[in-house]
Structure formats: C-alpha cells, structure tokens
Structure 1
Amino acid sequence: MLVASLCCIDASAQGDKKSSEILEAMSARYQKIKSFKAVFTYKPTGEKPLKGEATVKGTKFRLKMAGQEIFNDGKLMATYIKETNEVNLQDFDPTQTGDLDPTKIYSAYKKGFKYKYLQEKKEGAKTLDVVELTSTNKNSQVDKVQIEVEKATRAISSWKIFQKNGQQVTYKVDQFQPDVKVADSYFAFNTKDYPGVEVVDLR
C-alpha cells in the first residue's frame, strides 16, 4: 500500500490500454495526497475477517494488523508484538517490506507486473473496474493481485493477493482520510509508551 512519482508506462509491454489508463489515474490520484489514514478489513481464505489500520506520510508509515504494530520513520523499522510485549528493531530496507508496506499499494504495478482489465462490476451504488496484476518476478511470493478501483473517483476499493503457495488474502478499504495532520514522531517507536517492553535489536 508508495505514493510515488508517476512514470511513463509502455502499455503494450505491461498490459492493455484500458488497464494502463485505470492504474495511471489511480496512481495520479494518490500521488497528490501527502498523507492519509486508512481503516481496512483483511480476510485470509477460510479465516474470519480482521481489522487493520494504516497511517502513511511520504515514505513513513505506521501499520496495525495481525496483533502487530509496525513503526517506520523512514530509517528504522520497529515491529511491536502485543502478545509478548516485544519489539524488533531493524534498519528500514524499502525493498524488503513486501505486502506489509502500505506506501507501495498505489505504485506496485509499475515494476514486476503485467496487467489486464478483467471486468466492470457493481457494488451497491458504486461501479468498480477490476484489474489483474500478474507477477513477472520468479522470486516473488505473489502470483497475482486483483485490484478493484472505483470508476467515479479512481480510489482503490479493495485488492486481493494470490500467493504462489495457494494462500489468498483480501483487503477492503472501509475508511480513507486524505491529508491527515500527523507528526513525524508518530512513526517512531517510543519505549516510554510501552512499559516493560523487551527490545530485540536486529541491526
């Protein structure tokens, strides 16, 4: 989930014209947003749906899901595990965050994927365009991603990740607040806020 600079896409090489236009418009929409907060529901196949929350500001993010809270201030990434009151510290490597980086959802398609337009569908009063991204990276754990984009606003409604091991996870955006005011300190883990926390420094 990166609000990165919009780059030119060779539609003939990456995908059909319609899917390219949809993805470019979606990316352009989020590129204009300096920060955001999103509440989402995620559901692994065969399991109960769970809630998550992501706050993003540039390359900084704070993500709450699956009993963990990930703090990333752009330099240091801290993963706090509530159940054990433990935090793991490591240098932030933007190439290693995978599915758990909410700053990448809007630009992930630009590298390592080919894409095609699947269908138009109705969901309540909304009309959604469905685009499928197929991984071209043999080393990736992801096989494909299906993204549903609102036709009227070009906002992401949901995305479904199909992994090569057969697992599937669906993420649905429940609330989205653009341009939220948030201090940089919000993205840094502070041990004072977590009494008795065990710090595991992996750097």
Structure 2
Amino acid sequence: MKKLILSIFTLFLVVTAFGQYDPKALVILDAMSKKYKAIPAFEANISQTLTNDVEKINEEFKGKITVKGDKFKLVLPEQEVINNGSTVWTYIPEAKEVNIDNYDPNSDDVNPTKIYNIYKKGFKYLYLQDKTEGGVLCEEIDLVPEKKDAQFFKIKMFINKKDKSIQSWTMFDKSGNKYKYTISKFNPNVKVEDSFFNFDVSKYPGVEPVDLR
C-alpha cells in the first residue's frame, strides 16, 4: 500500500511539474540559446539513431551538418537535406531524385536551426538532473509541447553543464519511435557562403527534380 501511495505521489509531482515552466530549466535553455545565436556559422559531425522497442528497430546514421542562421545542410549516407531559409531540397542520390518544397518557419517541424530556440514557444520545460551523457557532464531537460496533437510528445535535451553546448537531443513520437541526435567535433569557426545552402539541379546530370511547392 505504501508503494502504491508513493507511486501516485510521484506521478502527481511529475504531472504538476509539467504543468509549469521550470525557472531553472529556463536559465539553462536561455544560456544555451545565447551561445548559438552568437555563432555566425558552425559545422559538426552528427549521429542520428532511430529506435523503437516494440518494433525492434535500431538504426544509426552518421553525417555532417553545417548551420548558418536559418540555413542548414545535413549530409547523411543516403540523403542530403538543404535549407536556404525559404526552400528545402531533399536529395536522394540512389534514386537520382531531389524533392523541392517550400520551407515554413512557423511549422511544427523540428530542424537543426530550430532546436536552439524551440523551447521559447509552445513548450513546457523541466530540469530533471545533472547526468553524464557521452562522457560529458550535462544538464538533462525535458520539453513537452502544449499542443496535444504535436508531432512529438517530448524532446529530451542534454546540455553541456560547463559551456552550455548541446550534447544530444531525443525526440519521442506517439508511435514509439525515438530519434536521437548526438553532436561531436563541433567547429564554431566555419566561413561559408550563402550559396552553399542552395541545390543547383543543373550540376547533377540525370537527377530528376520533384517540385512539391
């Protein structure tokens, strides 16, 4: 009986906490956001892991990401995603195809240029604990969307306690998928032109453009 009461009490605390906006978490998130806003452009190695315990899915992809303001280029083994702030190209080399779509900065999609500011609108946030992630002491924070029909029901962030850089973040969807992104070899001194974030179809002979706009 005591265990049952304790479990109910613990659940009550969790639900109550997520009904609020944790001031400690906000201080950490603001410091993290300020750090990345001060960087004109950066490049990093990134690993993406997709897991689903029920479906027994465990897939990992490694790639490189370059970010400049609201622009980014993500290069993975099987595809490239390029966003120049208004247009998004998804290039699939094996299929010799590139999908072209408009970029909506107000959408609920989570992309590398949003993760540093995503907490500022439409999310509740909670500091959980200090925890070592990838050998680095981090501050663990959960973000929960205010909208019940949001694409992801939780985003877990590990923020380097020392320098406020993002060590990793994991997005949880309602079908049981967990998408984890881990940052390594971070380079904040990249000089890159805006043209780097455009996909010139004419330079890819045989590639079929699929315009979804």
Specify the SS of the correspondent of 1:47. Answer: strand
TM value normalised by structure 2 = 0.83
What root-mean-square deviation, in Å, do the aligned CA atoms of Structure 1 and Structure 2 show?
1.9
Q: How does 1:96-107 map to 2 (within 5 A)?
A: 96=107, 98-99=109-110, 101-107=111-117
* Letter aligned with residue 59 of structure 1: D
Give the direction of change, closer, same or farther, for the CA distance of 1:164–1:93 in structure 2 (3 Å limit): same
**Contact kept in structure 2, 1:38 and 1:53, CA below 8 Å:** yes
Between stretches 78-87 and 46-55, larger displacement belongs to 46-55
- Which deviations, in whole Å up to 9, do the C-alpha atoms of 1:60-92 show, x marking residues without a partner? 111123622112222222111112110112222
Aligned length: 191
**Residues 1:181 and 2:187 are matched in the alignment:** no
**Residues 1:118 and 2:124 are matched in the alignment:** no
2:37 pairs with one of 31, 37, 46: 31
Higher helix share: 2
**Residues 1:169 and 2:175 are matched in the alignment:** no
Q: Give 1:165 shift.
A: 1.8
Specify the SS of the correspondent of 2:148. Answer: coil
Which residue of 2 is the match for residue 7 of structure 1? none
Stretches (4+) displaced over 3 A = none
Q: Distance in 2 between matches of 1:111 and 1:160?
A: 18
Q: Give 1:122 shift.
A: 2.6
TM value normalised by structure 1 = 0.87
1:73 pairs with one of 69, 84, 91: 84
Q: How does 1:40-189 map to 2 (within 5 A)?
A: 40-45=46-51, 46-65=57-76, 67-96=78-107, 98-99=109-110, 101-123=111-133, 126-189=136-199
